[in-house]
Amino acid sequence: MSKVVAITGAARGIGLATARALKAKGAVVVIGDIDEAAVAEAAESLGVTGLVVDVTSRESFAAFLDRAEEAAGPLDMVVNNAGIMPIGPVTDESDADARRCVDINVHGVMLGTKLALDRMLPRGGGHVINMASLAGVTFTPGLALYNASKAAVVAFTEATRLEVQDRGVHVSAVLPTFTNTELVAGTRSPKGMKNCEPEDIAAAVVELIGRPRPQVVVPAKLARQVRLGALLPDRVRQAIARRYGLDRIFLDFDPDARKAYDARIRT
């Protein structure tokens, strides 16, 4: 895979796993993250270029992509992966948390997509991959801010894809289920279900690059369930949610286990 790829939010979790998987396939990878120490450590461990980027700042994001191209060449792909996940009752979420969630998860993806397209459309080629979530199409108590932000990513990505599809540039969304990263710290898995690992999402991204599609659900087996679930009456959907404990997962969590993550995403 002789591709040049820039990935945001790649100092840890899904972003780091994706960088590792793409590098293993022969891609030239540049990673970015707002955590300077973490991205430097991750870059050294992978043997790639690591840069600081604040995805909420046009100046910072543009500089990141400029420096990525200076280091690695014209970008074939941009993976907008950076995101945060505040959880808990909606009435307990602060206005500051709401603004930060939307700034990073929504505006960051929009900004990264626009800046990538500015580079790719004149060349008539490229691929923008936006990390959405199944939370963008299935909604859960205690996850209102995150649900809203990822629903926006799903809608924005699809509308943008339709707009540029005849100009040589692919735009795709990846929708993972519960994944074992810091985002789910202090929560439990749905009953009878196993969380994905970051490497599972990374593998889906690698496959998506090889065979571009509008949207990929991870794991793939959930795609059909989600489509069918949308056709069910509300009372049936809620009964299923209760059966799997989805109605309480993000309300009955361990706040102590989330302290470090919550502190980091609010910094």
Q: Which residues are marked as active site?
A: 146
d(CA 120, CA 73): 13
Query: Which helix (H) or strand (E) segment is 60 a member of?
Result: helix 58-72
> CA-based angle 262:200:2, to the nearest 5?
110
DSSP per-residue string spanning 201-267 = HHHHHHHHHHS--SEEEESTHHHHHHHHHTTS-HHHHHHHHHHHTTTTTTTS--HHHHHHHHHHHT-
By DSSP bridging, strand 28-33 and strand 4-7 are parallel
DSSP per-residue string spanning 75-95 = -SEEEE-------S-GGGS-H
- Please write down the HEC assignment for all residues of 113-139: HHHHHHHHHHHCCEEEEEECCHHHCCC
Nearest Cα neighbor of 17 from 57, 51, 45 is 45
